Amino acid sequence: MANNNLPSLTPEITDAFAPQVIEVMRNSIAPTANDQEFLLFAHKAASYGLDPFKNEIFFIKYGTTARIQFAAEAYLSKAREKDGFQPPDTQMVHENDEFKIEMNKETKEMEVVQHEIGFPRGKIIDAYSIAYRDGHRPVTVIMDIDEVGHMFTGQNKDNWKKWTADMFGKHVQQRALKKQYGLEFDDETINHDENQSIPEYQQRERKDITPNQETITEPKEEKPENKIASLREEMKSKFKQLGITTNAKIGKYLEDNNVKMSDPATESELIGLIELLDRNIELQELQAADDDELPE
């Protein structure tokens, strides 16, 4: 693709990833990243010892904003490497369960002292995760469903509504592992000036390039009106995959992601939006299945 010739890679990147792996990361994991964004993404993955191919760290590009995001699986992966690791115990509490917590007088920490399942279970009202570790006191994190209420109206609301137990469980488990094993990953957002051009959107048409090709052969030109119409249909299909089916929801999505579109939208704007939708669809599928993330 267009940006295969990267600036000097950091020692951490070259130590962690073989050249062929770096190329696949660039072309498949972060195809919309510019050079500096990709270097930051790869450097963070290498420095923390995370595997992008196991969905432990993500690169997401939307509009003029790029985001490097650590999945909940990253915490579980790194916790497994620590001495004394034991699998955490993560549970949902439903409204018909018998559930009781008490303050441990010695440790001054809240602990689960009773959890008996009742049927029918009823709605989920709480979740807790107990992170165990040999030679250490268990760390218990308990959360009320209201504490994650914003997740049901946010960017990933469809997954939270459909897979509440999985998403809520991974969220509370991540907090427990973070405390027990001293883990800390900081997501990073990179904002660019609105007027800065983002040629990476054009890489969408330049993915099929043979290794020995010295010049890029542009695809056969379509009539402009046909290409715009085709891109619009693709855009609508992507929105539908994300469950965004009304003009109001589309407008909210564009506003939330700081995407500005002309009226009518230009070809480059549609291509950029489709790139964003593709990344959101990919992330949604990963989170719904196994990411966010308890193997999600």
Mean pLDDT of 87-95: 97
Radius of gyration in angstroms for the set of CA atoms belonging to the chain, rounded to a whole number: 22
Most confident of 120-129, 239-248, 282-291: 120-129
Q: Decide if 91 is inside a domain.
A: yes
Q: Decide if 131 is inside a domain.
A: yes
Intra-chain end-to-end CA distance of the chain, in Å: 30
Q: Decide if 275 is inside a domain.
A: no
Q: Decide if 258 is inside a domain.
A: no
Of 163-167, 232-236, 287-291, the one with minimum mean pLDDT is: 287-291
Q: Decide if 144 is inside a domain.
A: yes
By percentage, how much of the chain surpasses pLDDT 90?
48
Give residue-wise pLDDT tens across range 152-198. Answer: 988 778 889 999 999 999 999 999 999 999 998 888 888 865 444 44
Structurally, how many domains does the chain consist of? 1
Q: Decide if 154 is inside a domain.
A: yes
C-beta separation of 236 from 277 below 8 A: no
More confident residue, 285 or 9: 9
Residue type, 247: N
Mean pLDDT of 75-80: 94
C-beta separation of 167 from 124 below 8 A: no
> What integer pLDDT is reported at residue 241 of this predicted model?
80
> How is residue 276 written in tokens?
């964003």
Q: Tell me the average pLDDT of the chain.
A: 82
Of the candidates 155, 151, 153, which has an alpha carbon nearest to the alpha carbon of residue 174?
151
- Is 80 exceeded by the pLDDT of residue 204? no
Residue type, 29: I
Q: Decide if 97 is inside a domain.
A: yes
The string of DSSP letters for 103-169 reads E-TTT--EEEEEEE--SS--SEEEEEEEE-BTTS--EEEEEEGGGGGGGGTSTTHHHHHHSHHHHHH
Q: Decide if 152 is inside a domain.
A: yes
Q: Which domain holds residue 157?
A: 83-184
